[in-house]
Amino acid sequence: MKTRRILDTLYHLLNRRPVYHGLFWLALFGLMLWTDYDKGMDMGFALSNELIQLFFYAFLVYVNLFYLIPNYLARHAFVYFGLVLTACAVVTPIEVLVFYLKFYGQPVFQAKLVGSQLWVFMGNLFVVMVSTVLRVIMDWWRYQTEKQSLLTQTMQSELRFLKSQINPHFLFNTLNNLYALTLKKSDKAPEIVLKLSEIMRYMLYECNERRVLLTKEIQYIHNYLDLERLRQPKEADIRFTTHGHISEQMVAPLLFVPFLENSFKHGLNHHVQGGGFVRLKLSVSADDLEFFIENSKAERLPRQDHPRSGGIGLANVRQRLEMLYPENHTLIVVDEPHRYAVTLHLKMI
């Protein structure tokens, strides 16, 4: 943890413009001094030469960074390169003149300087183009960082929105069940209140993370089915089986709830003469999870005088799967005249 904090501090420090600009010029100055220093040359004389050279490099680089690149590189690339060449061509003779005057009384150095004007120009051009490449890389890196940050924020917002759609919908259905039992003065009402409190505790306090323990999600399903068994006819066939070793696996919370809701809301609830089925099977291996649910469909749906509500559950699940398990899931829906089935396969990541 301490090492991570140190690395984060170092990252934020190096991400500051004065810091990485200062390191760049310090490294360049050291490289120039190391490559150009002659052992027979006075150290003070060598340092002054490199500082003058560094001044002209800095002038060209910052003209490039603050004026040429922002105004010309993206929109007028050929004009940009023409202006870079022009800037180097203007600065080079001024730079040579400054060094010529500095080498007054040293004709050997002056002669070498006059003969190497092309190399001075090429050196200026090279440094300017290096600064362009580094600026492009930094801009690309900053864009990718901001894009990733925005994508993460968007994903979290969408997940919160999708979960907020699930929770009130399920609560609404369960309260309807409780209301029906209290009207009948059923002895099952206290039990349904207890089950509902367990479910609400899970929804409010335990499923706010990106992943939850699979064991808790299974317990949630059991509680949900227990609530449905209390209100469904005795003839209804409601079964839930699990296979494989279930221990510390993690899954997205409330991922299976829309399938459960739909199996009763659009399936078992419409069997007005009783009967029907909802069957669930959860199979777990080392790296994979397969959730299967099927429900019977009534031959005739009861007439509704009001528009159907809901219908967002399956769409929500598809969106959540795309965000949470991209390229690591398979969702198969089978809609037959008397049967509806869903198979969800997840790669446990």
Q: Looking at the domain assignment, is residue 273 inside a domain?
A: yes
pLDDT of residue 342: 95
In a shared domain, residues 194 and 102: no
- Taking the C-alpha atoms of residue 134 and residue 65, their distance in angstroms, rounded to an integer, is 10
Predicted structure pTM score: 0.55
Give the residue among 277, 295, 286 at the shortest CA–CA distance from 336.
295
Q: How confident is the model at residue 163 (pLDDT cuts 50, 70, 90)?
A: low
- 332 and 247, same structural domain? yes
Tokens (6 digits) for 257:
């709830």
Q: Say if residue 192 is in the same domain as residue 84.
A: no
Cα–Cα distances (Å) from 239 to 246, 293, 338, in that order, read: 18, 10, 18
State how many domains the chain has.
Answer: 2
pLDDT tens profile 61-88: 999 998 999 998 888 889 999 999 999 9
Query: Do 92 and 198 fall within a single domain?
Result: no
Which CATH number belongs to the domain containing residue 259 in this structure? 3.30.565.10
195 with 320, same domain?
Answer: yes
**333 and 242, same structural domain?**
yes
Given a cut of 60, whether residue 167 has pLDDT beyond it is no
- pLDDT above 50: residue 311: no
Q: Are residues 200 and 137 in the same domain?
A: no
Whether 93 and 202 share a structural domain: no
Overall average pLDDT of the 283-292 stretch: 92
Same-domain pairing of 338 and 208: yes
Does residue 234 sit in the same domain as residue 282? yes
Task: Indicate if 130 and 194 belong to the same structural domain.
Answer: no
Q: Say if 167 falls within a structural domain.
A: no
Same domain? 116 vs 243: no
What is the domain range of residue 261? 187-299+308-347
Predicted local distance difference test score (pLDDT) of residue 307: 41
Residue 170 falls inside a structural domain: no
Instruction: Specify if 116 maps to a domain.
Output: yes
Q: Which pLDDT tens digit goes with each residue over 173-211?
A: 667 767 777 777 777 777 778 888 888 788 777 777 778
Mean pLDDT of 247-255: 87
